[in-house]
Structure 1
Amino acid sequence: MKMRALALVGAAVLAALPLTAGTASAATKCPSGDVCGWTKANFGGSKYTESKPTPGCFPMNGARSVSNQTKYRVTFTRGQSCEGAHFDVAPGHYSAKTPWPVVSAAVWGP
């Protein structure tokens, strides 16, 4: 009986592993040079992509997770027109859970 219980626990742990790995790899689904946002934390829900953004401000979709795959710093803001509370994401980095829905973002470039 104990062996069967251990086998079931082991199978459950193995079944959960792909879900964990899938969440981590979701951040890589933002193409190089783009800024991406997802409507849910951990890269879930609908995806929004700003392809090859130029320096300046652009609207987001209320993103709850974001990825910056540009070569520039990106500031994600709570308000429209890149105003209000904000946080920065360095080039090649991401945030799996934003502190609030992201309404706009600014790319800082040359």
Structure 2
Amino acid sequence: MFEVFSNGYYLGRLVVEPHDGDRAAMQRRQHERVNEQLYASGEGVERTDYPLVMKLDTAHLRVHGSADVPADTLAVPRDLLERVSVDNPPALREVLLAKADHAERLVRTGAV
């Protein structure tokens, strides 16, 4: 789903669609799998429900898991979708997923 892109990000392609929620979301099982594969340290029991940090256009998003979102989809609040360049959603778009250390830095500095 995601491949190495740079020192700070993985690159993936997801269908970006608007939704009425107040936070970005992707299918819960995929969210947990990506969280486990790319964010977990592999030591002991770890949570897989932490938000993923993704970049869509110029916006960084905390992405949560949701049972209501289809597979391979990034559901974005309508007001945020209006500020990024996603024409005629739903649309297949490249998204960047911050690597664990970069995601932690973005959260710590308030960038997301």
TM-score, with length taken from structure 2: 0.31
Q: Which is higher, the Rg of structure 1 or of structure 2? A: 1
Which structure ranks higher in relative contact order (CA pairs < 8 Å, sequence separation ≥ 6)?
A: 2
Which structure dedicates a bigger proportion of its chain to helix? 1
TM-score, with length taken from structure 1: 0.32
